[in-house]
Amino acid sequence: MGNLTDAKTIRNISSQIKDKSINSFIGSIKPDFLDSDSVEQALHSASRKISKNHINENLFSFLFTPNVEFVTSPIDKDDPDGDKLISYISFHPFREGKKYIILSATANEWMYKKLFGDRVEFIDLSNVELLGEINQFSDKSFARNGMMKQQAQRAKLANQFKPDLETITFKSYKTNFDNAIDPLHFGNCEGSNNYSGQDLKIVGTPHINPEVIKLYCKLLGISTSPLDFSFKMQKVSFNGFEFNFPTSLNEEVRRIQFHFIERELIQSIGRSRLINHPATVYVFSDYPIPQAKQYSLKDTQQWDRKTA
């Protein structure tokens, strides 16, 4: 009986998702399941191809975590009414009466205070003097799509600049660089000390999926109007820089977008451990990084001659 009841609950959830318009938010799911074993059996009945680990890591988290918000989008853009891809985010609030210490090189004070209010005491130690240095070529875009299409010449130029340096870039673009680091790429750089004290090259502006920004907006109580996610090239001021960048007119949406881009770049730069080592990191990205010396892309040939 339990299996049939839980299977019906899962079918109802699936129907709710398919009935909603594309990219619309659905409220938190709090289904009344009888037990996790019967849910697993029901899911296996629905799709024999789903592995047990996949169920435990994804579907269980989606179905059983409190305070889940999610957004749907079509798997096939040419079939908007077909099966949907579900992206979700869960919120685990701090327990009352408990103190938490979070140590992070890329923690965002504004986002933490949005989530936890006056409970947050933020100590910013990011603006410390570096033994090493960051040199950035920031006047041209190095977004993934641009590097793979009309701006491929820029990727070639970045590859030819100091060609012996090991490079961190997009996972899907490593084959375009002679010395791309095999285990490291944007989204997978945290914690590695294997390149401490080494000169490195970072190539790319790691934009994230707009759906991730939408989910964080929902979690932080920020507008999720479609107009806020129409990113257009404009001049913006941020972190003491003024620069042109494709972004939202909504300042709060922009702050979330910039946080995730900056986080990936800083984590990549951090593999050289410039606080403790006199190494140099060269960054090719149109998102300006604090503490970086800014240069134009046309300076690369002169730079190579100067440092040969």
Check if the beta carbon of residue 212 is closer than 8 Å to that of residue 260.
Answer: yes
**φ, ψ of residue 298 in degrees (nearest 5):** -70, -10
Q: Quick check: 292 pLDDT over 90?
A: yes
Check if the beta carbon of residue 280 is closer than 8 Å to that of residue 198.
Answer: no
Least confident of 6-10, 68-72, 192-196, 245-249: 6-10
Range 79-83 average pLDDT? 71
Mean residue pLDDT across the chain: 80
Q: Can you spell out the DSSP letters for 155-196?
A: HHHHHHSSTTSEEE--GGGGGGSTTB-SS--TTS-TT--TTT
72 or 190, which is more confident? 190
Range 195-210 average pLDDT? 93
Task: Provide, rounded to the nearest whole percent, the portion of the chain with pLDDT above 70.
Answer: 73
Range 155-181 average pLDDT? 90
The encoded tokens of residue 293 equal 């010396």
Task: Determine the pLDDT at residue 106.
Answer: 87
98 or 19, which is more confident? 98
Range 274-283 average pLDDT? 95
The helix/strand count (H/E) of the chain reads as: 10, 10
Q: Tell me which range, 65-74, 140-149, 204-213, is most confidently predicted by mean pLDDT.
A: 204-213
- C-alpha separations of 149 from 138, 144, 146, 205 in Å: 19, 9, 5, 15
- Residue 210, SS3 per DSSP: helix
62 or 41, which is more confident? 62
Task: Determine the pLDDT at residue 66.
Answer: 66
pLDDT band at 50 (very low <50, low <70, confident <90, very high): very low
The encoded tokens of residue 102 equal 């979070």
225 or 73, which is more confident? 225
Task: Determine the pLDDT at residue 70.
Answer: 74
Task: Determine the pLDDT at residue 244.
Answer: 93
Q: Quick check: 229 pLDDT over 50?
A: yes
Q: Quick check: 290 pLDDT over 70?
A: yes
> 151: which DSSP letter?
T
Q: Quick check: 253 pLDDT over 50?
A: yes
Q: Quick check: 48 pLDDT over 50?
A: no
The CA distance from 54 to 56, in Å, is 6
Of residues 246, 233, 256, the one with CA closest to residue 205:
246
Q: Match 């012996």 to its residue by tokens.
A: 164
The CA distance from 210 to 231, in Å, is 9
- DSSP-based helix, strand, coil % in the chain, nearest 5: 40, 20, 45
Least confident of 51-60, 176-185, 201-210: 51-60
The pTM score is 0.79
Range 49-69 average pLDDT? 60
Q: Quick check: 166 pLDDT over 80?
A: yes
Q: Quick check: 170 pLDDT over 50?
A: yes
pLDDT band at 225 (very low <50, low <70, confident <90, very high): confident
The CA distance from 146 to 149, in Å, is 5
231 or 11, which is more confident? 231
Q: Quick check: 236 pLDDT over 80?
A: yes
Q: What domains appear along the chain, each with residue ranges and CATH number?
A: 2-90 (no CATH), 133-307 (3.40.50)
Q: Quick check: 161 pLDDT over 80?
A: yes
232 or 62, which is more confident? 232
Check if the beta carbon of residue 135 is closer than 8 Å to that of residue 302.
Answer: no
> 143: which DSSP letter?
B
